């Protein structure tokens, strides 16, 4: 049986994913859903193979498909259009495995075509001698027709395909093992990809066919938990349109359990048409509002780019269409929401004047100015966490939010933030995803970026996926700066929620791109409170520099200048497996390596001697120690 993927068998290096891809095509005749699942598996195996041979791709903390696909370096290599094709395969594979709605040959065929384009990209970039190939649907349709004509041929094909499916279902691929196996290929294949990719021409997404476009949109709706024919209706007739027939047909209408419209979706062909569909969608929303006395949310989409018009904020892009639970929550909050103009800040939480000003500045930005992003720049020790807790308290009481996500880049910051929220808002249910795995439905979720990335696709409850794009009503980003945003921007673009950034970096030292991320004028945060003002107000004490030098840390080590005893220690420490010894080690190299107990004790001794004292000089005052990394911090702690 000839397939579109047979060419992969000609190069042994593609063997880890070739058989699964071939199997995905073969079994479409017998079981389209199994074909979709195999397309997803073949794609996952191919992604893992890329990670094992390409030096630019570093294995993420967790090697599940979501983490591998969403790594920034990986997305840059494959490009946006190809990544979107791959995401369709991922979503369809998830829906085939977990959704009640049966997927058919149309969805399976689109998965195979997208898989073919992805594997052709791999072949183009990594093959010794690339040969151009095109996806031939007739290879598949002819087999289907042949099976229809002959029962004997159909039975024989099914028997072969059953064996094929049984074999492919058992295949697994260990990334760590694959990395070890392909270590010798990495340098050569990385260089080849960098050279050959320069001439690769991406195959454009063809959304001209309504049938194809609908497959992508349907996949998005299924992924969000909508059920066609129950709470999702196609081609809904709407009388009263200002046209000759006085009738319009909304592409999709999404309903609640009482059959009241929650959203209307206008499906358009291109990104340009997404905007063109705005007026038509608004007319549909007008008609539905007249009939049901409630205006539905509007989504404009072509299956890849989606816009939302909710009547509260200006039209904006969102990652996908909301789930039913998201939309029902949105309407419930809408009925409870009150103005933030005269909000009262709980002084037991944030009692200082500038903390109250910060809360009111964000409230004004959200309400009066209709801005969904705010940046608070507040000096270390001035109470950023207290301020944002008071803000959450105000927004919860005013009915603006229900679910909160607090993100930080280190476990310790996540733990510390959760502890503060629990102490000051004891009635708010909170969970730390890094430590707790059974309280996902809490209204305030604390997480590292990486943990949340992994949870988006894997955490579900009885109603379906939990962390959908509209699940959170407020996202708080601790230590917001460009590098964090660039590394984890998929989280910020996935969740359609107002974003609050916190940072202690002085506002004139924050780079221009960070202000752009928060859609602010350069150098003008939503609210700022700097160290100089905090010192002037008497809330913080200014720092005093104490110059101290440790010879090795300052100057490095020169072997010939050491005592005989130190030379022996040097030899024991720095001699390599061949017996070679460096003549010297520079200070910068030493700083990256040396966290020995003696050096740490010397530095801490200077702190204990020169640091600011309290209790009549008996105790060291409140002090912040900046360590190089977590291990260094642990060693510092153990040296006290």
User: What CATH number should be reported for the domain holding residue 513?
Assistant: 3.40.50.300
Q: Provide the pLDDT for residue 172.
A: 74
In the numeric block, the tokens 């992003």 are attached to 373
Residue 344 is assigned to a structural domain of this protein: no
Residue 542 is assigned to a structural domain of this protein: no
DSSP string, 214-243: HHHHHHHHHHTT--BTTTEEEEEEEET-SS
* CB-based contact 293:265 (threshold 8 Å): no
Q: Provide the pLDDT for residue 564.
A: 77
Residue 347 is assigned to a structural domain of this protein: no
The pLDDT of residue 272 is above 80: no
* CB-based contact 341:325 (threshold 8 Å): no
| Residue 503 host element (H or E) | strand 499-503
Q: Helix/strand/coil (H, E, C) string of 483-526? A: HHHHHCHHHHHHCCCCEEEEECCCCCCCCHHHHHHCCCCCCCCC
Compute the half-sphere exposure of residue 421: CA atoms within 13 Å on the CB side of its CA. Answer: 25
Distances (CA, A) of 407 to 395, 410, 432, 502, 504: 18, 9, 10, 10, 16
Q: Provide the pLDDT for residue 102.
A: 82
Residue where a domain terminates, one of 153, 173, 199: 199
CA distance 101 to 225: 10
* CB-based contact 49:41 (threshold 8 Å): no
CA distance 262 to 268: 20
Are 480 and 625 part of one and the same domain?
no
- Mean pLDDT, residues 372-392 taken together: 96
Are 494 and 591 part of one and the same domain?
no
What is the average pLDDT value for the chain, to the nearest integer?
87
Are 286 and 313 part of one and the same domain?
yes
pLDDT band at 149 (very low <50, low <70, confident <90, very high): low
Residue 543 is assigned to a structural domain of this protein: no
Residue where a domain terminates, one of 142, 165, 199: 199
| Residue 263 host element (H or E) | strand 261-267
* CB-based contact 390:350 (threshold 8 Å): yes
Q: Name the burial class of residue 455, with classes exposed (0-12), middle (13-18) and buried (19+) by CB atoms within 10 angstroms of its CB.
A: middle
Looking at residue 264, what DSSP letter applies?
A: E
The encoded tokens of residue 140 equal 């598949």
CATH number assigned to the domain comprising residue 233: 3.90.1570.30
Q: What is the pLDDT of residues 542-578, one digit of tens each?
A: 877 776 665 555 566 777 777 777 777 667 666 665 5
Residue 346 is assigned to a structural domain of this protein: no
pLDDT band at 147 (very low <50, low <70, confident <90, very high): low
pLDDT band at 273 (very low <50, low <70, confident <90, very high): low
Residue 341 is assigned to a structural domain of this protein: no
Are 172 and 93 part of one and the same domain?
yes
* C-alpha R_g of the chain: 29
Residue 348 is assigned to a structural domain of this protein: no
Q: Provide the pLDDT for residue 549.
A: 61
Q: Could you tell me the sign of the dihedral formed by the alpha carbons of 395, 519, 515, 518, in that order?
A: positive
Are 111 and 239 part of one and the same domain?
no
Q: Provide the pLDDT for residue 230.
A: 94
- Mean pLDDT, residues 333-351 taken together: 95
Give the global pTM.
Answer: 0.81
In the numeric block, the tokens 């992969």 are attached to 8
Q: Is 298 helix (H, G, I), strand (E, B) or coil?
A: strand
Q: Provide the pLDDT for residue 551.
A: 57
239 φ/ψ angles, rounded to the nearest 5 degrees: -70, 150
Query: Would you give the distance in Å from CA 585 to the centre of its chain?
Result: 41
Residue 510 is assigned to a structural domain of this protein: yes
The pLDDT of residue 594 is above 60: no
The pLDDT of residue 625 is above 60: yes
CA distance 107 to 35: 10
Are 116 and 36 part of one and the same domain?
yes
Q: Please, what is the Cα angle at 94 between 93 and 98, to 5 degrees?
A: 120
Looking at residue 384, what DSSP letter applies?
A: H
Q: Name the burial class of residue 8, with classes exposed (0-12), middle (13-18) and buried (19+) by CB atoms within 10 angstroms of its CB.
A: buried
CA distance 4 to 114: 12
How many other C-beta atoms are found inside a 10 Å radius of the C-beta of residue 80?
12
Q: Name the burial class of residue 258, with classes exposed (0-12), middle (13-18) and buried (19+) by CB atoms within 10 angstroms of its CB.
A: exposed
Q: Provide the pLDDT for residue 207.
A: 67
Are 331 and 459 part of one and the same domain?
no
Are 12 and 125 part of one and the same domain?
yes
Q: Is 581 helix (H, G, I), strand (E, B) or coil?
A: coil
Q: What is the pLDDT of residues 205-243, one digit of tens each?
A: 776 667 778 899 999 999 999 999 999 999 999 999 988
Q: How many domains does the chain have?
A: 4
Are 284 and 357 part of one and the same domain?
no
Quote the domain boundaries for residue 217: 210-336
* CB-based contact 52:128 (threshold 8 Å): no
Residue where a domain terminates, one of 173, 199, 225: 199
More confident residue, 96 or 403: 403
Are 232 and 164 part of one and the same domain?
no
Please tell me the least confidently modeled range out of 107-111, 491-495, 573-577.
Answer: 573-577
Are 320 and 400 part of one and the same domain?
no
Are 381 and 530 part of one and the same domain?
yes
């Amino acid at each position: 049986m000839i397939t579109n993927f047979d060419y992969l068998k000609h190069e042994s290096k593609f063997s880890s994913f070739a058989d699964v891809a071939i199997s995905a095509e073969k079994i479409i005749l017998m079981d389209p859903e199994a074909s979709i699942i195999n397309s997803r598996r073949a794609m996952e195996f191919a992604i893992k193979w890329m990670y094992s041979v390409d030096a630019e791709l570093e294995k993420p903390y967790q090697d599940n498909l979501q983490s591998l696909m969403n790594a920034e370096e990986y997305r840059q290599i494959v490009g946006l259009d190809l990544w979107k094709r791959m995401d369709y395969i991922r979503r369809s594979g998830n829906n085939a495995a977990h959704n009640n709605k049966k997927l058919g040959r149309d969805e399976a065929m689109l998965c195979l075509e997208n898989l073919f384009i992805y594997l052709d990209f791999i072949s183009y970039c990594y093959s010794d001698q690339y040969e151009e190939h095109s996806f031939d649907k007739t290879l598949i349709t002819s087999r289907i027709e042949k099976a229809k004509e002959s029962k004997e041929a159909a039975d024989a094909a099914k028997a072969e395909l059953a064996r094929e499916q049984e074999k492919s279902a058992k295949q697994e691929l260990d990334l760590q093992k694959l990395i070890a196996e392909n270590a010798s290929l990495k340098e050569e294949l990385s260089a080849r990809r960098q050279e050959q990719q320069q001439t690769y021409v991406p195959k454009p997404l063809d959304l001209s066919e309504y049938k194809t476009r609908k497959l992508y949109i349907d996949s998005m709706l299924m992924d969000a938990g909508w059920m066609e024919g129950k709470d999702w209706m196609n081609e809904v007739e709407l009388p009263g349109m200002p046209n000759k027939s006085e009738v319009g047909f909304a592409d999709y209408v999404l309903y609640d359990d009482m059959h009241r419209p929650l959203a209307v979706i206008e499906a358009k062909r291109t990104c340009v048409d997404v905007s063109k569909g705005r007026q038509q969608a608004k007319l549909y929303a007008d008609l539905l509002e007249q009939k049901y006395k409630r205006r539905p949310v509007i989504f404009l989409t072509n299956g890849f780019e989606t816009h939302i018009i909710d009547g509260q904020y200006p039209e904006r892009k969102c990652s996908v269409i909301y789930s039913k639970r998201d939309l029902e929550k949105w309407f419930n909050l809408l009925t409870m929401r009150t103005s933030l103009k005269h909000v009262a800040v709980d002084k037991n939480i944030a009692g200082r004047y500038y903390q109250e000003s910060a809360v009111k500045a964000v409230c004004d930005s959200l309400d009066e100015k209709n801005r969904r992003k705010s940046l608070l720049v507040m000096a270390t020790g001035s109470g950023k966490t207290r301020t944002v807790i008071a803000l959450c308290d105000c927004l919860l009481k005013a009915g603006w939010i229900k679910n909160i996500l607090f993100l930080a880049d280190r476990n310790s910051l996540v733990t510390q933030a959760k502890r503060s929220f629990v102490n000051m808002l004891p009635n708010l249910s909170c969970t730390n995803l890094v430590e707790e795995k059974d309280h996902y439905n809490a209204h305030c979720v604390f997480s590292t970026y990486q943990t949340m990335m992994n949870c988006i696709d894997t955490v579900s409850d009885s109603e379906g996926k939990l962390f959908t794009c509209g699940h959170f009503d407020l996202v708080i980003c601790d230590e917001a700066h460009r590098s964090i945003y660039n590394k984890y921007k998929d989280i910020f673009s996935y969740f359609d929620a107002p974003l609050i950034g916190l940072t202690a970096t002085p506002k004139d030292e924050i780079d221009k791109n960070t202000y752009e991320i928060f859609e602010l004028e350069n150098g003008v945060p939503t609210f700022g409170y700097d160290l100089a003002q905090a010192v002037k107000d008497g809330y913080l004490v200014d720092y005093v520099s104490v110059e101290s030098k440790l010879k090795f840390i300052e100057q490095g080590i020169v072997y010939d200048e050491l005592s005989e005893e130190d030379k022996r220690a040097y030899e024991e420490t720095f001699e390599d497996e061949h017996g070679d010894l460096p003549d010297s080690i520079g200070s910068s190299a030493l700083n990256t390596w040396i966290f020995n107990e003696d050096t740490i004790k010397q530095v801490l001794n200077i702190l204990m001697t020169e640091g600011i004292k309290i209790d009549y000089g008996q105790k060291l005052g409140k002090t912040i120690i900046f360590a190089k990394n977590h291990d260094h911090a642990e060693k510092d702690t153990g040296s006290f």
